[in-house]
Structure 1
């Protein structure tokens, strides 16, 4: 009998397929952080005001930009990806509660929780073959 789980497992264990899926997963995870970090740069004053309105000091905005944009780029290129994923996971979890904890923003709260789970998974399994981490570790 055909077991779809076994079929997907067998496909994902093919080295080239595994490498491509890892790359695509990293790109998809990085995208939201790169866009968000860049958006905070281009709307710096508005973002600082929003942070203040949520009880978060605007002085933390440069750190927020560094975490989002820097962490997103690290994921994209697979550089120190486990560390970047851990940092972004913690960041996503904290921001879920600080900015999306209300009942009227449940979807963004759940989005942050889902991203946290994906980032923890990336932290455990690493960046994959098509990454700077792989190049550095194998030289």
Structure 2
């Protein structure tokens, strides 16, 4: 799960201009300011989870919320018909599933971090 976010951050770095344009097209402005923040969130959050950092449960929870929030901008299946609508519906629920996995990871890491502190 962590690799998904680290690789997404790397992809955004490698395709910075195209990603900036894509963000602006869906109304995320100023995209040139927001994109570095997204890259940091995905990259550092993913690394935190991968390394099981002491507070990685926070990273997992934040990434869950972030993942669900992206649906409102990028996977608006309700506005589309036909195959594009079906594709966006599938991507929408893929994000819901990823968020669910992140909530599970967050809960597990939270319980584990509390055992280590006690």
Which TM class, normalised by the smaller chain length? 0.7 to 0.9
* C-alpha contact 1:78 1:127 (8 A) present in aligned 2: no
Q: Is structure 2 residue 110 aligned with structure 1 residue 101?
A: no
SS in 2 for 1:126: helix
Higher-Rg member (1/2): 1
Can you give the 5+ residue segments of structure 1 that lack an aligned partner in the other structure? Answer: 1-28
In structure 2, relative to structure 1, the CA distance for the partners of 1:89 and 1:119 (3 Å cut) is same
Normalising by the residue count of structure 2, what TM-score does the alignment of the two structures yield?
Answer: 0.81
Q: Is structure 2 residue 50 aligned with structure 1 residue 87?
A: no
Aligned to 1:123: 106
Ranges of 4+ aligned residues in structure 1 off by more than 6 Å: none
SS in 2 for 1:78: coil
Aligned to 1:64: 38
Q: Is structure 2 residue 12 aligned with structure 1 residue 44?
A: no
Normalising by the residue count of structure 1, what TM-score does the alignment of the two structures yield?
Answer: 0.69
Structure 1: how far apart are the matches of 2:74 and 2:108? 29
Structure 2: how far apart are the matches of 1:108 and 1:73? 24
Can you give the 5+ residue segments of structure 2 that lack an aligned partner in the other structure? Answer: 78-84
Deviation at 1:106, TM superposition (A): 1.2
**1:7-42 deviations in whole A, cap 9, x for unaligned?**
xxxxxxxxxxxxxxxxxxxxxx11110110011111
Between 100-109 and 36-45, report the one with greater CA deviation: 100-109
Deviation at 1:91, TM superposition (A): 0.4
Aligned to 1:33: 5
RMSD over aligned Cα atoms: 2.0
